[in-house]
Amino acid sequence: MPRRISRSSLAPPLLAALLVVMGTACSGPEKSAAPHCPDTALTCPASGSPATAGADPSASAGGAAGSPAATPSPAAKPGATAGPSSSSGKPAAKAACASPGDCGFPDARTTGPRIPLTPHRTGYLAVRTDGTVIRGWDITGSLDVYADDVTVIDTRVTSDSWWGINLRPGHHGLRVLHSTVTAVPGKGPDNGGVDYAVSNMGTSSVEVGWCDVSVFGDALAMGQGSLHDNYVHDLAPFVNKGGEWQHTDAVISSGGNTGQLVIRHNTLLNPTSLKQGASGAVGLFADSGVVRNVTVDDNWIAGGAYALYGGDTGATGITVTNNVFSTQYHPASGGYGTVAHWNAGGAGNVWRGNRMSDGRPVRPEPAS
């Protein structure tokens, strides 16, 4: 088993009813905001919930905008989980799906900025003011965060650095919401490659939600955080400065984490070929220490050598539930199989309600 190296027309009453229903949606395929879900909102609340006060659009990097008033909740989308299994072992809800959108998972229509953007050629930008809010920027460069409670929202980051957005040790409260984080293929510092879209170098939680992420080698890299409603796709393999194919992962954690990592309701795609460093769509690796306290719930997962690496021996508190493993790249979702290094006997480890995109239940292989 391969092991990753570290690293008809409508009657008027019906039409009126339809318009009422449409008006309750926060956002749809066109990513437009309804009156009760304004572009300034940090989150898109469920129907009937009051909109949260948002960020000041005029706030800029390095300028104190105050700590954002709202903390987005990464709760699962209502009705999105697979539900109980039938006696045959196949989930009773959610039939076979041809694509993420068919099952209500994130895609390009439901992620990324919701407002027009203004170009900012920042290059490398160190953010050092607590409470900074960056909103409505089209950034050419990268953000290195040395501050607390920084929010990047309705923004696009096109990086040619080691990362798109990075949180430094000793700082907390970073949120990246409704944004696009991408890079320029062949223009990164690692022999032309770019390594991490959003990275967390510290021990506090980072929230990434409703984001469109692409091109990086390892996209979302952290041991603790809340990753929800994101569309991660088109990872870009490259030969690193060491002369080896850089391993690619849509989400990667190297273990040794002290907090919780929640990966919920994302589309996580790793199309990298096996000959070009494919690792996982979700990679929970014990490279830096024991893997613990990770929730992987209600995601669309596809690609990699194995689609999911489960933490290996010693891993505890790993919950993998209600995920759809897609066959869009490989018959087993991953090139070598669906799941590897799952520690079935670990305390608090739960495997339940996971299936292939054609409806077959998924049972993990034991850890090697």
223-242 pLDDT, tens per residue? 999 999 999 999 877 777 77
Q: Which amino acid is at 52?
A: T
pLDDT at 51 over 80: no
Band (pLDDT 50/70/90 cuts) for residue 222 is very high
Asked if residues 2 and 305 have their Cβ atoms less than 8 Å apart, the reply is yes
For residues 271-289, average pLDDT: 84
Q: DSSP labels for 322-347?
A: S-EE--SSSTBSBSSEEEESB-TTST
User: What's the confidence (pLDDT) of residue 42?
Assistant: 57
User: What's the confidence (pLDDT) of residue 240?
Assistant: 73
User: What's the confidence (pLDDT) of residue 81?
Assistant: 31
Residue whose C-alpha is closest to residue 138's, from 163, 155, 161: 155
The structure tokens 């700590």 sit at: 67
Band (pLDDT 50/70/90 cuts) for residue 76 is very low
For residues 80-99, average pLDDT: 45
% pLDDT > 90, the chain: 53
Q: What tens digit of pLDDT does each residue of 293-348 get?
A: 999 999 999 999 999 999 988 999 999 999 999 999 999 999 999 999 999 999 99
User: What's the confidence (pLDDT) of residue 89?
Assistant: 37
Residue whose C-alpha is closest to residue 188's, from 245, 241, 231: 241
Alpha-carbon span 262 to 287, nearest angstrom: 19
User: What's the confidence (pLDDT) of residue 48?
Assistant: 31
Least confident of 6-10, 133-137, 206-210: 6-10
267: which 2 tokens?
């589309």
The separation between the first and the last C-alpha atoms of the chain, rounded to the nearest angstrom, is 8
Band (pLDDT 50/70/90 cuts) for residue 101 is confident
pLDDT at 56 over 70: no
292-297 vs 306-310, strand pairing mode: unpaired
> For the chain, what is the mean pLDDT?
77
Residue scoring higher pLDDT (286 or 79): 286
59: which 2 tokens?
């706030």
Band (pLDDT 50/70/90 cuts) for residue 95 is low
